[in-house]
Amino acid sequence: MMRVPGSDKIRLLFASPSPAGTPSPSASDGMPRFSIGDPSSISDDLLIVEDSQKPPLPTGVTPPRVRPWRILVVDDDPDVHESTAFALKDVEMFGRPLVLLHAHSVAEAIALASTHEDIAVALIDVVMETQDAGLHLVERLREANCATLRIILRTGYPGQAPEYAVMSRYDINDYRTKDELTHSRLLSVLHTALRGYRQLSQIVDHRTGLRLVLQATADLFARTSVDWVAHGVLPHLGRLVGAPVIGVVALGPLGEPVFSPSAFTVVDALGGPFARAVDRPLSALPTFGTRIVGVFERASAGHAVVIDSDALGLMVSGHGRQALFVYLDITDRPPSGLDPDLLQVFATTLALCFNNANMIEHLDRLAYFDPVLEIPNRNAFERLLDSKMHEGSALRVIFVSITGLTEIAGVFGEGAATHVLIRIAHALGDENLRLQGVARYSETIFVALGDPDQIDEGALQRVLARPALLDGAPAPVSVFLAVVDVTPDMVDAQTVCRHGLSALLSTEGNRTRPTQPIRYTQDMTRILHRRLALRAALRRGLERDCGLEVHLQPKIDIATGSIVGAEALCRWTLEGRPVPPSEFIPLAETGGLSRPLTRLVLNHVAAIVARRRARGLPALPIAVNLSAMDLTADDFVTGLLRDIHHLDLSPDTLSFEITESQMMTDLARSIAELESIRAAGFDIALDDFGTGYSSLGVLDRLPVTAIKIDRRFITPLTIAGARRSLAATAIAMAEGLGLGVIAEGIETVEHHHALVFLGCPHGQGFLYGHPMPAGDFETHHTTWSLPTA
């Protein structure tokens, strides 16, 4: 045993041979290896990696290629090269072998450095062509951006050591004389240098990897659809891994309880083997199919990132019940280890971008798609129409309005109303109609567009005339059409749609031929302007009690001719001209003015009652019409009864009428409110009886005291056909339910006699008296002379 000069201690290093049958790359003779050296110059790190046994690889997994450490030896002395190669023969450090690159001059060293970018350590002789050639080489290497390269200077002349400033400036890691670099010290110095190189390289790799991840994040996060995100994954992942882009991306549903590769469809594929993989199930790919499915199963089993020696797999899940799977073939990647942490960061970023695209698609669907009917909505249609108008095409826009859905929903439920809408939407989608962009414009309005020369309006009318069925019976709805031909003065889609709504609204309440198209004209817009002006004037009139008064129309006992009551009818005069009730009453109801209008009528009725009392006239119940819109409003009935009390009105001076079809908006609420009015003692008549499809179904549930037979059943009434008339049926039904009966619209003597024959107790109509001011009613109407013929 030799003692190291200048030291009282020695360190003896042993390395055990590999087990039998397992050759070691650094001890091929099977004998124990040893080394002697100064304890201060031999690092304990040398004891870790040389012959450690790794667990066997799984069956079928290709052993990973080991990337060697490249060591650049620069010296003009051939013996140095030979001795260095001998000293480092079969040496491994950190599990990787050493490969020496030999240069005998600065020029050769520069050439090798430019060819091999992964040189880890350079052993450079200071004195070569010149006394400081090595220092100049170091300067050029650093200028060539070899920042991670570890540099060890060697010299045979101790006096040639560089100054500290030079060592620091050029990041020279060590300086040794050639005599100092014994075998053990050379190993120690190289070990330290390689450790530093590895750490710096990891920092640089991480920095580069994070930059690539950030670039990928910026690109993928800007993509607004799941499919677009999927098409951007492979190039970014390939750059991050440093491998040729050969792989697939597939989308599928979230697995419950497990994912199925057959449910995942390839949406993007790059690389020769996958040229025809798009739109195919993941499990059906012939090339690498088994390998892909294996990686898929491991990724879907909870391992979001799967790294094999020849394949990489990522699985990310989205909030939209979708998952994205990425497979990348990395057989030809550079022989360097993949960073699992960096790949996990990429996978997390990809998941965020994937979820962001899912959310954008969901919001886009909400913004441009009707979730109930699963067709485009108003926003989508206006976007399509704007696009078509920009192209300058001839366009015709069709508006389809459905009435009666509220009543259907009130009686049969929302599902029945939705069923009717679905049937109509399906009918509009008939390819024979040649309509484009069928969309739900609002709750009860559909819209579509097409070429004026191709749209078959006759076929459209026939299709919409076919009734949707509810429980085998035609649904009681009406369908109205409005047509707008787009002209150059219509600047955008909103203008076109506004004109279409004008066409629908301008004839509201006056349609006698459903499905007959209404063609837009500028007069329709003027009509709407008039409505707005009338509503504003009506509001002012109610606030000032100006221009509005109450007229009374008598109700008589048909058998005796005595007056049994009256109906209060509001009349409005604006700027000296009467405005028909059929025009201003709907304006009041749709404009939120029906409640103050009802209050005004009650005030006038109270004044009439007070005058009758003052004149000693008998009490006469005056009927006031209630709006169903008010009836279902919060606190309306409570406020109504309070107003009645303050106005000193009683059940013998006041009664109410309510139209049955209006109550269908909220039948249960209407019934509850009417019961409160009945509990206060006031009579309630069901107006327009027989015009609503649900009369028979709800009549026995309504807290009413009488029915008013609609004029359309009285107009055709004759004495000869009275017994077989609908009026006779209504009278018999009311008597069976213990309800009073009032026939309205009596205009002829024959109407009167027919009703007497049927036993109808009360009547109302022009035959008995037109609506008149209260003063005229009180003066001239106490009884009515019965006709003698």
Two structure tokens written together for 739: 């309800």
Residue 72 belongs to what H/E stretch? strand 69-74
83 and 106 within one domain: yes
Residue of 249, 255, 254, 252 whose CA lies nearest to 263 = 252
The residue type of 396 is R
Rounded Cα distance between 619 and 610, Å, is: 10
| Complete DSSP assignment for 351-387 | HHHHHHHHHHHHHHHHHHEETTTTEEBHHHHHHHHHH
Residue 6: inside a domain: no
Rounded-to-integer distance, Cα 529 and Cα 562, Å: 46
Alpha carbon distance 282, 262 (integer Å): 6
pLDDT(757) > 90: yes
Distance CA 253, CA 258 (A): 10
Run of H or E including 233: helix 226-241
483 inside domain = yes
Q: What is the pLDDT of residues 58-87, one digit of tens each?
A: 444 444 556 789 999 999 989 899 999 998
How crowded is residue 412: how many other Cβ atoms within 10 Å of its Cβ? 16
Reference 69, options 42, 49, 43; nearest CA is 49
Integer CA distances (angstroms), 523 to 398, 489, 502, 515, 529, in order: 19, 16, 9, 21, 10
Q: Can you read off the two tokens belonging to residue 313? A: 């797999």
Mean pLDDT of 298-320: 83
Whats the size of the chain, residue-wise? Answer: 789
The last residue of one of the domains, among 366, 397, 431, is 366
* Average pLDDT of the chain, as a whole number: 82
pLDDT at 178 over 90: no
Pairing mode, strands 119-125 and 69-74: parallel
Q: Is residue 487 part of a domain?
A: yes
Residue 444's domain comprises 371-520
- CATH number of the domain where residue 733 is located: 3.20.20.450
Confidence band (pLDDT; 50, 70, 90) for 169?
A: confident
Are 189 and 298 contained in the same domain?
Answer: no
**Triad 587, 589, 593: Cα angle to 5°:** 85
Three-state SS at 655: strand
Give residue 197's pLDDT band: very low, low, confident or very high (50, 70, 90). Answer: confident
Angle at 775 (CA atoms; ends 771, 777), nearest 5 degrees: 45
CATH number of the domain at 340, please.
3.30.450
Strands 762-764 and 706-709, by their bridges, are unpaired
H helices of 566-650, in order, are 581-590, 594-614, 628-631, 636-646
- The alpha carbon of residue 417 and the mean position of all alpha carbons in its chain are separated, in whole angstroms, by 24
Coil, helix or strand at residue 97: strand
Q: What is the mean pLDDT of residues 625-637?
A: 82
What pLDDT is recorded for position 704?
92
Instruction: Please check the confidence at residue 446 and state whether its pLDDT lies above 70.
Output: yes
Within-domain flag for 46: yes
Whole-model pTM above 0.85?
no
* 199 lies in the same domain as 93: yes
Question: Which of 2-6, 72-76, 379-383 has the weakest average pLDDT?
Answer: 2-6
Ramachandran bin of 592, using left for φ above 0, alpha for ψ from -120 to 50, beta for the remaining angles: left
Is the model's pLDDT at 21 over the cut of 60?
Answer: no
Q: How many domains is the chain built from?
A: 4
Residue 376: which pLDDT band, with cuts at 50, 70 and 90? very high
Give a yes or no: residue 288 inside a domain: yes
Residue keyed to tokens 């083997």: 273
Chain-centre distance of CA 215, in angstroms? 27
Same domain, 62 and 157: yes
Mean pLDDT of 478-506: 87
**In the predicted model, is pLDDT for residue 383 greater than 50?**
yes
pLDDT of residue 57: 43
In the listed set 328, 351, 366, which residue is the last one of a domain according to the structure? 366
| Mean pLDDT, residues 657-672 taken together | 77
Helix (H) or strand (E) holding 750, with range, is helix 749-758
On whether both 272 and 163 belong to a single domain, the answer is no
Nearest residue to 489 (alpha-carbon basis) of 447, 518, 446, 522: 522
Q: Which two tokens stand for residue 540?
A: 């002012």
Q: Residue 625: which of 667, 665, 588 has the closest Cα?
A: 588
Q: How many CB atoms lie within 10 A of CB 722?
A: 20
* Domain edge (last residue) among 471, 505, 520: 520
Q: What tokens does 139 get?
A: 């300067």
Residues of the chain with pLDDT > 70: what percent? 84
Q: Which residues 6+ apart lie within 8 Å of 23 measured at CB?
A: none
Nearest to 602 by CA among 568, 636, 639: 568
**Is the residue at 536 inside a domain?**
no
- Which residues, including other chains, have CB under 8 Å from residue 117's CB and lie 6 or more apart? none
Residue range 542-563: mean pLDDT, rounded: 91
Q: Is residue 1 assigned to a domain?
A: no
Looking at the chain, the whole-number percentage of residues with pLDDT higher than 90 is 32
* Tokens coding 613: 């009392």
Mean pLDDT of 534-552: 91
- Residue 445 bridge partners (DSSP): 401
Q: Do 605 and 749 belong together in one domain?
A: yes
Report pLDDT digits (tens) over 219-269.
888 888 888 888 999 998 888 888 888 899 999 887 665 678 888 999 999
585 belongs to a structural domain: yes
Identify whether residues 273 and 156 lie together within a single domain. no
426/395 same-domain check: yes
Q: Please check whether residues 351 and 469 belong to one and the same domain.
A: no
d(CA 193, CA 124): 13
* Choice among 311-315, 320-324, 465-469 with the minimum mean pLDDT: 465-469
Whether omega before 17 lies within 30 degrees of 0, making that bond cis, reads: no
Return the pLDDT at 55.
45
Residues 629 and 697 in one domain: yes
DSSP state of 68: P
The reply to whether omega before 257 is within 30° of 0 (cis) is yes
What's the DSSP call for residue 130? S
The pLDDT of residue 378: 93
pLDDT of residue 159: 57
The arithmetic mean of pLDDT across residues 189-203, rounded, is: 86
- Nearest CA-CA partner of 463 in 448, 443, 453: 448
Site of tokens 């366009």? 395
Q: How far apart are CA 416 and CA 73, in angstroms?
A: 87
Q: Is residue 39 within 8 Å of 8, Cβ to Cβ?
A: no
* Listed range (30-34, 175-179, 448-452) with the worst mean pLDDT: 30-34
| Same domain, residue pair 150 and 183 | yes
- Give the H/E segment covering residue 409: helix 405-412
Nearby residues of 424 by Cβ (< 8 Å), 6 or more positions away: 400, 402, 446, 464, 468, 479
- 698/667 Cα distance (integer angstroms): 9
Tokens (6 digits) for 191:
């070990």
Same-domain status, 588 and 721: yes
pLDDT at 665: 63
**Torsion sign over Cα 93, 94, 97, 102:** negative
The enclosing domain of 427 has a CATH number of 3.30.70.270
Name which of 329, 325, 327 is nearest 351 in CA terms.
325
